[in-house]
Structure 1
Amino acid sequence: MKKALDNAEEYNDPILYDQENESFRDDIPFLIKWANKTEGPIVDLACGTGRATIPLAEAGFEMIGVDINGNMLAEAQRKAAEHSITIQWEEQDCSDFHLPIRSRFIFTVGNSFQHFLTNEDQDMLLKSVCKHLESGGTFIFGTRFPGPGELLQPSTEEYWRSYVDRDTQQKVDVYTISEYDPIEQLQHYKTIRRMEDRETCTGITLRYTYPKEMERLLIKHGFKLVHVFQDWQETPLSEDAYQMVYVCEKVG
């Protein structure tokens, strides 16, 4: 558990995380579509502040949110209570989580799969998912596509985006610096946020997995690939993709 938290600077401030990420909702209709095909509790792994968990609960599904970061879960719990939504929140390591249920639908979104940095981490995650899925159950996740444009970024500061901080009303200019390690398949990111009166810098490391590598990994752990898309609008995967969206079924 400690190792995962060591790579969690970007998640130390859940309010900041929400400001920069909560507007992304492309995956919600896709998840609801698949949730409508099943019944029983649905598990959101690496749920963070409940960006996907809460909308699905609002849509009437029984939700369990699992995350290793207590600060993120506390904000998720606050937001759910604010909307009078009941969700079971579990502070656990997603690579070795333990729930007293089996589910027919488990997902992890927000490119969370990339936080499992080693082969062992990926194996443990998929074993835990498989253990908690009913036979024939669905596992959905997204991860960035390891294309040249994503991996071969210059190791110099690049502008990403700007926004206005809700609390301070200051403009925040966000820049990134990335360095790819092709041996370990790890991208080391630094994110710089510049405001009128200060500057902050955080770091994170993400793992990239190639499509054929992913296919073999999933089959090894008892999954059948149902679909592979390059976005949440179900566009078939192509060589110029930015993301890979996997829909898998537990076999046996």
Structure 2
Amino acid sequence: MSEQFYSDARLYDRLFPGGAQAVDFYRAEADRQGGYVLELGCGTGHKLIPIASDGHPCMGLELSPDMLAEAERKAGERGVELAWVQGDMREFDLGRTFDLVIIAGNSLLHLHEADDLVSCFRAVRRHLAPGARLVFDVFNPSVRMLAQADGVRRRRDALSFVDPDRGVVHVDVAETYDAAAQVTRGRWYFSTESEADFAVAPLEIRSIFPQELPLLLSLGGLRVVECWGDWSRAPFTADAPLQLYVCESGQTEDRSSDWLKK
């Protein structure tokens, strides 16, 4: 499980401080769609707070209470008002519909079972207003990179960051790939020159291949409107870094995903 990875929200924000292109993309999608925005797996509000600051009414749903508390703190610091809800994206009932639902930053990949993904898509469909859309991003799996997940602990220099209290923090990662489950199981190690492994956290992330997503979405009662391969909205290709989907409600909710249940 990955809960421990998200238990220190400020450490998480320092580890992943960037994403300006992703923020701009989702802000543009909110402007294009208009209306009330819901983000599932909103984390610390990295995408949602800027969208709310543009004047869109917003709600964020997040499973981790630590991440949610940091999102509330950051929104208050910026003087931005929006609603925050602790909940599970696999099954939720917020009592209203939305004009845009987003699932950003690979948050969808914390759902490891196909049935959980379909359950999430069904819940999204029930919350879509007429004409509303779901927009989400997940990485495009690289078979070569997955094959290199051999369990060896390695330094990730690109992930090093500066902590105001600890100084430079180095990040090591050891990962293995479970091909049957399509899940990468890793342990992340955080160290400084004077304090080795001051934090160690597991992280398990599913890979969703491009051939799967249209089927899973269809089983959840959604249909694909657009699919892009990067933040510039370039067409999706086999070597694209991302899978960026825009979806809307299908005519009916397909119940045939019962076969996916274990």
Question: What TM-score comes out, normalization by structure 2 length?
Answer: 0.89
Instruction: Give the aligned partner of residue 237 of structure 2.
Output: 238
Instruction: Give the aligned partner of residue 191 of structure 2.
Output: 194
Larger CA deviation: 222-231 vs 117-126: 222-231
State whether residues 214 and 224 of structure 2, in contact with CA within 8 Å, keep that contact through their aligned partners in structure 1.
yes
How far apart in 1 are the matches of 2:22 and 2:93?
26
The number of residue pairs the alignment matches comes to 246
Instruction: Give the aligned partner of residue 217 of structure 1.
Output: 216
Instruction: Give the aligned partner of residue 85 of structure 2.
Output: 90
How far apart in 1 are the matches of 2:84 and 2:56?
14
Aligned-pair CA distance for 1:165: 0.9
Percent of aligned positions with the same letter in both sequences? 28
CA RMSD of aligned residues (A): 1.4
> CA separation of 1:239/1:38 partners in 2, compared to 1, >3 Å: closer, same or farther?
closer
Determine helix, strand or coil for the equivalent of 2:66. helix
Determine helix, strand or coil for the equivalent of 2:248. strand
Determine helix, strand or coil for the equivalent of 2:169. strand
Aligned-pair CA distance for 1:158: 2.5
Instruction: Give the aligned partner of residue 147 of structure 1.
Output: 142
One of 109, 120, 135 as aligned partner of 1:114: 109
Aligned-pair CA distance for 1:57: 0.7
Instruction: Give the aligned partner of residue 57 of structure 1.
Output: 52
Aligned-pair CA distance for 1:82: 0.8
Instruction: Give the aligned partner of residue 101 of structure 1.
Output: 96
How far apart in 2 are the matches of 1:179 and 1:73?
29
Deviations 1:105-161 (A, max 9, x none): 000101001000111211211111111012331101111212223311242222223
Aligned-pair CA distance for 1:37: 2.5
Larger CA deviation: 239-248 vs 176-185: 239-248
The one-letter amino acid of 1:190's match is R
Question: 5+ residue gaps in structure 2?
Answer: 252-262
One of 66, 70, 77 as aligned partner of 1:71: 66
How far apart in 2 are the matches of 1:242 and 1:37?
24
Instruction: Give the aligned partner of residue 174 of structure 1.
Output: 171
> CA separation of 1:22/1:163 partners in 2, compared to 1, >3 Å: closer, same or farther?
closer
Aligned-pair CA distance for 1:237: 1.6
The one-letter amino acid of 1:167's match is D
State whether residues 147 and 239 of structure 1, in contact with CA within 8 Å, keep that contact through their aligned partners in structure 2.
no
How far apart in 1 are the matches of 2:240 and 2:189?
26
Instruction: Give the aligned partner of residue 254 of structure 2.
Output: none
Aligned-pair CA distance for 1:220: 2.1
How far apart in 2 are the matches of 1:33 and 1:223?
22
Determine helix, strand or coil for the equivalent of 2:245. strand
How far apart in 1 are the matches of 2:242 and 2:207?
11
Question: What TM-score comes out, normalization by structure 1 length?
Answer: 0.93
Instruction: Give the aligned partner of residue 164 of structure 1.
Output: 162
How far apart in 1 are the matches of 2:17 and 2:42?
12
Alignment of 1:120-135 (within 5 A): 120-135=115-130
State whether residues 37 and 101 of structure 2, in contact with CA within 8 Å, keep that contact through their aligned partners in structure 1.
yes
State whether residues 230 and 242 of structure 2, in contact with CA within 8 Å, keep that contact through their aligned partners in structure 1.
yes
How far apart in 2 are the matches of 1:26 and 1:149?
26
State whether residues 2 and 201 of structure 2, in contact with CA within 8 Å, keep that contact through their aligned partners in structure 1.
no
How far apart in 1 are the matches of 2:177 and 2:149?
10
Aligned-pair CA distance for 1:204: 1.0
